[in-house]
Amino acid sequence: MIRLPIAEPGRYYHGRRAIVLRSGMLLEDERRYLWHELVHADRNDRACHGSIAAEVSVEREAARRAMPMSSLLWAFQLEWQRHLVASLLKLPEEWVQFRLHAAHPAEKNQLRALHRVRRQGETDEQESA
């Protein structure tokens, strides 16, 4: 991986097996686009950067890899506000939202269950005070 002043945030060059990220990005953005380009590399993509459907598929897979359910549950156990979760994961908040929106129904159920447990814990604390 190298950083250069390119127009797009990231680019995978199949022939060179290289990923180039735009120089000067925030760490959170750099991590997001690196995950995205790694999925292109894993898929041996040569030139799908023009296909919207392919890019959406890559983005969904990159978010899933960057934020596995275990990482999301860990972060949401510590913080419930999305911007704080994003900060813990060192990823952009809008990408955390994208991952949550694209989550499998079973994953959403896990997060809902965690939310119920947290709310119950807060209620118990308030009642004992």
pLDDT single digits (tens) 49-107: 668 888 999 999 999 999 999 999 999 999 999 999 999 999 999 999 999 999 999 99
For the chain, what is the radius of gyration of the CA atoms? 18
Per the model's pLDDT, the better-predicted residue between 81 and 47 turns out to be 81
pTM listed for this prediction? 0.85
Dist CA 66 CA 71 (whole Å): 9
Mean pLDDT check: name the lowest of 12-21, 31-40, 104-113, 119-128: 119-128
Query: Token match 């709310």: residue?
Result: 119
Based on the domain organization, do 93 and 49 belong to the same domain? no
**Are the beta carbons of 25 and 5 closer than 8 angstroms?**
no
Based on the domain organization, do 62 and 1 belong to the same domain? yes
pLDDT score of 123 more than 80: no
| Total tally of structural domains belonging to the chain | 2
The 10 Å Cβ neighbour count of residue 46 is 11
Based on the domain organization, do 48 and 80 belong to the same domain? no
Give the number of C-alpha atoms closer than 13 A to the C-alpha of residue 9, restricted to the C-beta side. 13
13: containing domain: 1-66
Based on the domain organization, do 127 and 90 belong to the same domain? yes
Based on the domain organization, do 60 and 71 belong to the same domain? no
Query: Token match 């950067």: residue?
Result: 49
Please return the burial class of 52, using the count of CB atoms within 10 Å of its CB with bins 0-12, 13-18 and 19+. Answer: exposed
**DSSP per residue, 86-101:** HHHHTS-HHHHHHHHH
Based on the domain organization, do 73 and 125 belong to the same domain? yes
Q: To the nearest whole number, what is the mean pLDDT of the chain? A: 91
